[in-house]
Each structure stands twice: as C-alpha cells, then as structure tokens.
Amino acid sequence: MTLVPLLLVALATTGLLDADPALVVVLGLLLLGGGGALVARRARRSRGGDGDHPGVGDDRGGTGTALLDREPGTERPEDDGGDDGGAGTVTDELELPKVPDTPAELLEPEVVEPEVVEPEVVEPEPLTLRERFRQRLTRTRNVLGASVVELFGGGVTEEAWEGLEEALITADVGVTATMEIVEELRRRAREEGATSGEAVLELLKEELRAALGTPDRTLARATDDGPTVWLVTGVNGTGKTTTIGKLAAVEARAGNRLTLAAADTFRAAAAEQLGIWAERTGAELVRKEEGADPASVAYESYDAAVSKGSDLLIVDTAGRLHNKRQLMDELGKVKRVLEKQAGPLEETLLVLDATTGQNGIAQAQAFLEAVEITGIALTKLDGSSKGGIVVAVQRELGIPVKLVGLGEELDDLAPFDPELFVEGLFAEL
C-alpha cells in the first residue's frame, strides 16, 4: 500500500497528471490493485503458509516439531490460546504424552510390595530321652539292628550266627566282646529252644544289656559344702567343650550356680568358645591369656568358684594326643593343683568320640595311665555307625559310660541308659 502515493507523486512530477486527469485516476486504481496483490504475495512468501494459517518459526519456541507432526484438525480442546503467544494457534498443538521429570522415574517401575504372611511358627515338642535314643542311633541301627533281623529271617542257621558276629564287629562292639556275646547266645538259643529270628533278637538284646553292666552312672557331687569339681579331658576335637556347655545347661536348669574354667590356653578361641557357653547358661567364666599355664587357670578358677559361691566348677582342658608325654604330664599337674585345693575331684571325665571306634579304646588306655578317670562321656553317637563301641569301652576299660552325646544342640547330652540304648539300636521306627 505504501507504493501508491509514491507512484502518484512520480506521475505528478513527470507531468502526467496535468495531461489527462482521467488517465491518472485509472492508472492510480490499477496501481493500487497491483500493489495490494504484490503486498499479499510478499506476505505469503515470508510466512511460508497459505495466508490463512500461521507458519512454523513464529513465537512458539520448542513446540515447533510437534506442530509439524500434527494431523490437521487435531486441536486440543482444553487450550484457550492464552499462553501460546500467537493468534489462532490454540487448537493447533498435538496432545503430547506426559514426560516424567526425572530419568529415574522412567527406569523404575512402580514396585508393589507383596503382602508378607508370617508363617506360623510351631515349636516342636522336645524329644523324650527314649525318642532321642531311637532317632539318633539310626546309623548304628543300620549296620546292626537291620542286619540281625535279616540274618535270622530264614531261621537260626550257622550262616546267620556268622553273619551276626560280623555285624557286631562292624558296629565296633570289639572282637573279644563279640565272641563272648555270640557264644553265650548260641548256648542260650539251644537251651531255651529259640528257633526264630525274633527269639534270637530278644536274647541278643539281653546279652548286650548284660555286657553293659550296672555300674553307678551318676555324676558324683561334693559331700561337703565346697564346690563340686569336674575335670574334663580327652583327645583333640572329641567334644569336650561342647559337652561342658551341655552339662552347664542341664545344671543351670536344675538351679545350680556354675563356674567354668578355660584351662585350655592353647588357643584363645578355646576360651572364647567356652565363654559363649558360659553366657548362654549364666555361668561364671575364668580364663587367662593364650599360652598361660593351664594349672594356674585351674587354681584361680577354684578360688573364684568358692568366692562366688558356685555349686559346681567344670574345668575344660586342651585336647591332647594320648601319646604326647609332656601334654599328659601337664594334665596330671592340673589335676594335682585342683586336688590340693579341693581334695579328690568328684569326676575326671574322659570324652571319647564314638566315630573313632576302637581307636578310642587305645586313647583311653593312655589317659587312664596319666590320670585316674572316673567316667566316660561318649560323644557323636548320632553320627556314628560304630555305636557298639559303648560295649567295648565298658568291658575293656572297666569304666562306666556316664554320658552320651546324641547331637550338637544344647539338649543333646543324655545320661547313658543301657535300656534305652539297646532299645534304640533295634527299634523299628
């Protein structure tokens, strides 16, 4: 539109306006129309559109791409155009998916915590002693109990007797004891007319019970008011410390006050192990540094037991090989020191590992020579197929088996009961 007055001025200055006013008017109108068309074309070109729609590159900022991609006529109904900064652009944008604020939101799916249902804890009933013997003697029962039933299933034959001898020896009853037991069984079977497997089995149970004898198996206690002293010895790893822990649990439950002495100064860990049992059972613990003289620990522990008013002092010692002279002498010294203070000890227990079978007998002989042993604690009967060792120990050492270990837990120490033992060996579960 600005070109029209310029043209008119140009015409006037060139003298055309004076020549023919009508021509000037026609020219003026023509120029006016053409200029308008020219202006319109320029405007269209500069916007890149068709004149009716706004183009890309106006003041919309980052939404340009989305606008390029949109389908015609897909307006946003909620837009009122107020924020777009451009007339006629309100309905032009696509509805975009909502973009999360952080990448983490993108990556982490919503976690729905499953409802946790606590399982109901049903405390198992504690096993009776009878059940414990039955359950824990499985391995020996497998070689002994089961095979006897099988052997005599076809009658009382020579072959069956030989098989029985073999089974008893495999279960570590010991050769001498086995020969004696089988000989006596044969005689009785003949005299009493036992002709079935069941009858022979009953006789065998009787013979085993007889072989175990009826010695006093109770743990001795002080008759004066001084604390009872039990000294615990044995080869490495037989179960001394564990047996002391189990004993402490039984005694504490019975209401006795206890002191435990860590006279195993060979390793610091040994005193720590005993310390755990002391804590569990509420017992006092006496210990010294690693390498200290075991006899001095024993000495101090007796004093402590007296001053604390303990009913019972149990002394743990280091495992020692029975053929090491110096170590056996050391054990003798511990015992002498204690006896000087306390008089004869109520118990000196030898802990034997049932899984070592006949080797345990040789070990025991050496201990018997070094110190007087008053009772045997036979551990790990639960893990042994050589449970017959109980018979051998009893017969060959002449020392009562007073305690048996039937497992690693607190309640797995039992006073040895020949009735329950023999019943457990042949029980049908």
**Chain contacts with ligand GTP (rule: CB under 6 A):** 234, 236-242, 264, 270, 319, 379-380, 382-383, 405-408, 412
Give me the least distance between CB of 313 and ligand GTP, in Å please. Answer: 17
Q: Which does 287 bind (CB under 5 to 8 A by kind): ligand GTP, Mg ion, none?
A: none
Q: Which does 140 bind (CB under 5 to 8 A by kind): ligand GTP, Mg ion, none?
A: none
Per-residue tokens: 360:
């345990």
Q: Which does 399 bind (CB under 5 to 8 A by kind): ligand GTP, Mg ion, none?
A: none
379 binds Mg ion (CB under 5 A): no
User: Which of 242, 153, 243 is CA-nearest to residue 200?
Assistant: 153
Q: Check residue 152 and report its DSSP letter.
A: G
Give me the least distance between CB of 319 and Mg ion, in Å please. Answer: 6
Nearer to Mg ion by Cβ, of 233 and 374: the residue is 233
User: What CA–CA distance (Å, rounded) separates 71 from 93?
Assistant: 9
Residue 420 buriedness (CB in 10 A; 0-12 / 13-18 / 19+) = buried
| Helix, strand, or coil (residue 120) | coil
Nearer to ligand GTP by Cβ, of 319 and 424: the residue is 319
Nearer to ligand GTP by Cβ, of 159 and 408: the residue is 408
Enclosing H/E stretch for 271: helix 268-281
Per-residue tokens: 178:
């086995």
Give me the least distance between CB of 277 and ligand GTP, in Å please. Answer: 9
Per-residue tokens: 260:
């435990």
Buried b (16+ CB within 10 A) or exposed e, 75-97: eeeeeeeeebeeeebbebbeeee
- Please identify the residue of the shown chain whose CB is closest to the bound Mg ion: 241
Give me the least distance between CB of 381 and ligand GTP, in Å please. Answer: 7
User: What CA–CA distance (Å, rounded) separates 150 from 199?
Assistant: 13
Buried b (16+ CB within 10 A) or exposed e, 218-235: ebbebeeebbbbbbbbbb
Residue 310 buriedness (CB in 10 A; 0-12 / 13-18 / 19+) = buried
Nearer to Mg ion by Cβ, of 241 and 355: the residue is 241
Nearer to Mg ion by Cβ, of 271 and 345: the residue is 271
Nearer to Mg ion by Cβ, of 23 and 276: the residue is 276
Give me the least distance between CB of 302 and Mg ion, in Å please. Answer: 20
Give me the least distance between CB of 408 and ligand GTP, in Å please. Answer: 4
Binding mask 235-254 for Mg ion (x = CB under 5 A): -----xx-------------
Q: Which does 402 bind (CB under 5 to 8 A by kind): Mg ion, ligand GTP, none?
A: none
Residue 428 buriedness (CB in 10 A; 0-12 / 13-18 / 19+) = exposed
For the chain, what is the largest distance between any 2 Cα atoms, rounded to a whole number of angstroms?
171
Contact status, residue 379 vs residue 404, Cβ threshold 8 Å: yes
Residues touching Mg ion, count (CB under 5 A): 2
Give me the least distance between CB of 194 and ligand GTP, in Å please. Answer: 35
Residue 67 buriedness (CB in 10 A; 0-12 / 13-18 / 19+) = middle
Give me the least distance between CB of 294 and ligand GTP, in Å please. Answer: 12
Q: Which does 346 bind (CB under 5 to 8 A by kind): ligand GTP, Mg ion, none?
A: none
* Residue position matching structure tokens 């227990």: 349
Nearer to ligand GTP by Cβ, of 76 and 288: the residue is 288
Q: Using a CB cutoff of 8 Å and minimum separation of 24, what contacts does 51-55 make?
A: 53/88, 54/86, 54/87, 54/88, 54/89, 54/92
Give me the least distance between CB of 379 and ligand GTP, in Å please. Answer: 4
Nearer to Mg ion by Cβ, of 145 and 294: the residue is 294
| Helix, strand, or coil (residue 284) | strand
Q: Which does 294 bind (CB under 5 to 8 A by kind): Mg ion, ligand GTP, none?
A: none
Nearer to ligand GTP by Cβ, of 251 and 412: the residue is 412
Q: Which does 237 bind (CB under 5 to 8 A by kind): Mg ion, ligand GTP, none?
A: ligand GTP
Give me the least distance between CB of 355 and ligand GTP, in Å please. Answer: 9
Nearer to ligand GTP by Cβ, of 147 and 379: the residue is 379
Write out the residues near Mg ion by the rule CB under 5 A.
Answer: 240-241
